[in-house]
Amino acid sequence: MADRYLSFTGTAPGRFLTRRLGLPQPAELRRWSPERPFLNGSLTRLTAGTSTLDLAPVLARTGLTPGGSAPAAVVLDATGVRDVDGLGEVHAALHPVVRSVAPSGRVVVLGAPLDAADHHQAAAQQALEGLTRSLGKEIGRGRTVNLLRLTDAAAAESTLRFLLSPKSAYVSGQMIHLGTREPTSPDDWERPLTGRTALVTGAARGIGEAVAETLARDGAHVVVLDVPAAEEDARRVAARLGGTALTLDITAADAGERIAAALPDGLDVLIHNAGITRDRRLVNMPAERWRSVLEVNLASVLRTTDALLAAGSLRPGGRIVATASIAGLAGNAGQTNYGASKAGIAGLVRCLAPRALDDHGVTVNAVAPGFIETRMTAAIPLFIREAGRRMNSLAQGGLPVDVAETTAWLAHPASGAVNGQVVRVCGQSLLGA
């Protein structure tokens, strides 16, 4: 359903009226397209403290050029900030340039891991999270602000390319931690998944279909998995993408074994997207509503992941990306079952990620969508839908492609340093952290 308020605020009368009334003024977001794959404009690089990062080679490959009075992106290297005086340098660096960042521009703050042996450094680096979240809520005009903690610039290339591109339009206020895993650069950054097989559950429609499309765009052979009742749609999507349709009940006890049997050569990317809602307040929720949501959204993910890892179906360098939700991170009235299932996904990711990497060479991450414009949200009553759209720093709902682009970044072969992360795709929702 079209966001008529967003369209209205894009007109001269709309801008005048909303400004006078103090209403939200969302800006139309700049998203990726083949014709416009990069942000238009320059990159301003700033430093606070003393840094040893070799950022120049990585930033040179983002499609942005150094210099310019109205930067499309600002990267502040604050990895060397170790005390309160260093935070003063952060202010001194950002203060003169924030106002000049172009609409739909990006601010990326680079921080260091917290040093457990130095509480001054830990305090200063933790302070960068409060800065990032607060700046994201005030910067406006479709601009985003994110914090990336890292120790090696080369391992951050896929993440910096994502955060400094139109693909990250609905990702803001996020804290992403990178490990030290040696990066694996693809032969072709435009089609990084060439020669790889990706399976997407619940891919016959909605967000799952958008994920399948994006992975296919990036070169993957996509296996479109959905329930038997959606077989016609699954085959349609697979045919359009040059992929393969696979229909089965993901909650079946042998679903993992059946997937492994259908893919004897293995797979490289496993996307757990399938999910359902059965909303009702807990006091009015029968056990069946609770059980069905937990079974589809969490139990099936646990079982199939375990089975595919045990069978060796995920090849070394593989990626598992599950779908959480801000309902699981912040809670939502009427969704105790759904919130429990999605919080469970976050727990799965954080616990399994280090073991899966050590034992199988596979990373495990999750996306956590906020208000995304789908057929489901279109059915929400008008005033609740409008509140959901505006309750984030970008003052609008996201699109399925926003979740898909974030998923594709996590599935990227050069994203091996991203592991155990739950990344919100919510426009920096005002709900929760």
- pLDDT of 184 reads 85
From 32, 170, 290, 338, the catalytic residue: 338
Q: What is the pLDDT of residues 102-133, one digit of tens each?
A: 999 999 999 999 999 999 999 999 999 999 99
Helix (H) or strand (E) holding 395: none
> Maximum CA pair distance of the chain?
63
Band of pLDDT at residue 433, cut at 50, 70 and 90:
low
Fold of 197-425: Rossmann fold (3.40.50)
Q: Looking at the predicted structure, is the pLDDT value of residue 166 above 70?
A: yes
Report how far residue 111's alpha carbon sits from residue 65's, in angstroms, rounded to the nearest whole number.
23
Amino acid 431: pLDDT: 79
At residue 428, the pLDDT reads 97
- Homologous superfamily of 31-177 in CATH? NAD(P)-binding Rossmann-like Domain (3.40.50.720)
Q: Is 5 a catalytic residue?
A: no
Q: Comparing 31-177 with 197-425, is the CATH topology the same? A: yes
Residue boundaries of the structural domains of the chain: 31-177, 197-425
**Predicted confidence (pLDDT) per residue in 237-247, tens digit:** 999 999 999 99
Residues 6+ apart with CB under 8 A from 268: 193, 196, 197, 198, 220, 314, 315, 317, 318, 319
How open is the CA angle 159-161-165, to the nearest 5 degrees? 120
| Amino acid at position 149, single letter | R
Tokens for 56, please give them: 């120049």
How many degrees, rounded to 5, is the angle at CA 345 between CA 396 and CA 265?
Answer: 105
Q: What is the DSSP letter of 156?
A: G
Burial class (CB in 10 A: 0-12, 13-18, 19+), 242: exposed
Mean pLDDT of the chain: 95
Cα separation, 284 vs 304, in Å, equals 31
The tokens describing 241, both together, are: 């993408």
CA dihedral sign, ordered 335, 336, 337, 340: positive
pLDDT tens-digit profile of 48-97?
A: 999 999 999 999 999 998 877 789 999 999 999 999 999 999 999 999 99
pLDDT at 191 (0 to 100): 98
Burial 76-91 (b: 16+ CB within 10 A, else e): bbbbbbbeeebbebbe
Q: What is the pLDDT of residues 9-31, one digit of tens each?
A: 989 999 889 899 988 889 999 99
d(CA 111, CA 77): 7
| Across 172-186, 194-208, 337-351, least confident range | 172-186
